Amino acid sequence: MVRIYEGRCHCGAVRFRFRSEEIAGGLRCNCSICIRRGAVMSPAYVPPSDIELLEGKDALEVYRFGDLTMNHYFCRTCGIHPFGEIIRKPGEPRGGFLRFNLGCIDGIDPLALEIELVDGRAF
């Protein structure tokens, strides 16, 4: 079932809305940035056509590293990482698709969900 989700960073400077299948689980990755950030992320990437940034375009900063396949966005005021954008994936162009930090989504308790572990170090 498709639902509309809304979320925000901690201080509220960044607010967003997206359409997605119902979120019943999350992902944790062990790559070098995710293991330090500790976020539980949405299980699927959301296409740009299903995403609306309600507030905070100017409050967002981006961090890139390594092979530059992801834009890791964070709020410059509170430092929270609300989402990450895949830039490219080997053999699969997918620019603009986002995966959301479930701790930023209204009404979702990421610690109450079944969490899949992803071996990001192997990528």
Q: Which residues pair with 97 in a beta bridge?
A: 86
Highest CATH level, class, for 2-118: mainly beta
Closest CA to 49 of 101, 2, 9: 2
Q: What is the pLDDT of residues 49-99, one digit of tens each?
A: 999 999 999 999 999 888 778 899 999 999 999 999 988 655 555 567 899
Q: Average per-residue pLDDT in the chain?
A: 91
Give the 3-state secondary structure of residue 37: helix
| Of the listed ranges 19-28, 30-39, 41-50, 61-70, the one predicted with least confidence | 61-70
What mean pLDDT do residues 93-118 have?
91
Q: What is the pLDDT of residue 5?
A: 99
Q: Check residue 41 and report its DSSP letter.
A: B
Write down the domain spans for the chain. Answer: 2-118
